[in-house]
Structure 1
């Protein structure tokens, strides 16, 4: 679980920022004034950060106080003097000495708030590695939600949390979204092939991602938003050409695939930097970044399948033996060799779509 802290010390529209923070269920609100924290519900951690100011004698109302030992004393000494209040340490990293100070804090303190002055994330990587066996929490200051997403992904572990000052309404929401690093598992189903048909020429899309796929992974693709088939990546050996384990030969350009928050995208609108959902045969998912989409004219084949409860699914692929889908148990099935009665893995979303977002409305797709 990634922690999200909203820093309201320097903003003017504090009331709107606090309302958004509570609504989005951010984990903490940071201020240098105790009165700013008084009205927060118990679900939000009240964090006092009196940077450049004296520490109040009465810390009542604060759940956590972040201190600079040079100004306020060590967290351990302050914790002994103020029972019931947690203390954390602030470190600004500007050189090798302050980097070592941050590493020491990460290893020993319960809370470490880190400010990296240089744009490189190498120092953060070093601190994360230094704290690999520690039990405390690292909170890194970000300038915006885009940087927060990067911070959460550093070394595949990321910082435990991010503190960010909002520049506008909506920034708290963006910070919360940046902290969502896990995608939900999907309930895949077995579909029975009813028919295949050669449908002539058209444009198909190869989706080249910035990640390696596993042998049991691919992306879900379908002609209709309520039914998709799991197309395997090119991780399996093929005659005449090398494997390309970053690629899925996904289907005709009109097809849907899944992205963040259950949203669908047409294959035709994917581009460098887009996100798509990688799915394995057990339904486990992860978001991967698109590096390139290759759209070319090719012969196409249409595959019609049906679920046990009678729902129809269609997928149009490049009409070539080397384009494959996944079946039960991770079986790799060449699309041109599929016959009626064969079983493939698929997904059956229950909602209709409006501009890719799931919505419950009347909609017929044929």
Structure 2
């Protein structure tokens, strides 16, 4: 299934914060719907289109827009004169009173997009998609939750278009992007491993991987003490009450550990540097490639976890802190301090050891390694 577009409608949210919009920028949404008052307020990356609903009282706002949402054919000429592409807003009543074929025939030829405010309120939505599929239109459907987005994307299947988030929650942004992106052709077969041994090892150097993207609550990385496999360490998209989430980060483990870079390769945490790539996994094992922006090395208390699945045994040494979480098959997370022997967590065991890598280190930031009493802000 091809990737779908992901738009964010900021006009339906009261006082959409600049932070929320910057979250969308970091996730590379395809378009942001802005009001006439805010269309030229934000500096958007060139990859993100500015979308503005047509306002007859403010036609000048179209100068800063890439796409204009119109609901009447008479508005198209003005929008085109300002250099905008046309997104035609669907009239729910009109499409309900006519067959999809008749409705699509009435859409102006200049329209590039068909905006459906709420697909769940459109009868015969699938028939509408089939009819639109015979044209060059792309359907953009409004959604209010990740589950709605997933339903729409599955219904669209091979059709072009995507979703428009009309009730954004910052924590869910990465979920929408993951739903609309092209599925990975590769995956790591995750299995349930039973925690056999939990042993506190004292202080050691642990490594945080700060990426250049945001990860969801069901995402993380495979980290292990040997190249025979490891455990699924959750991204810091969840956080304990005393801290804020850091969804760009995985508190990966002790500096000697391996982290998987794809389904068949790994790298040492000690060798990772700025610009390297690692495998970000979803709970279903699907992979997307993420880029390392920074490595944080700090002295912290460590715990060794040894886990088994059938005849395979894997081990990981991680920081003993509530920030560090593993995942169960259900997607539920469990923090390291709350782990108990006998718990089931996700992990991965290779069929055979991988070859040793020898790569230079770059872009490593070492913080307070020589001072165990020093704590850098937000790097617990």
| TM-score (normalizing by structure 1) | 0.47
Structure of greater Rg: 1
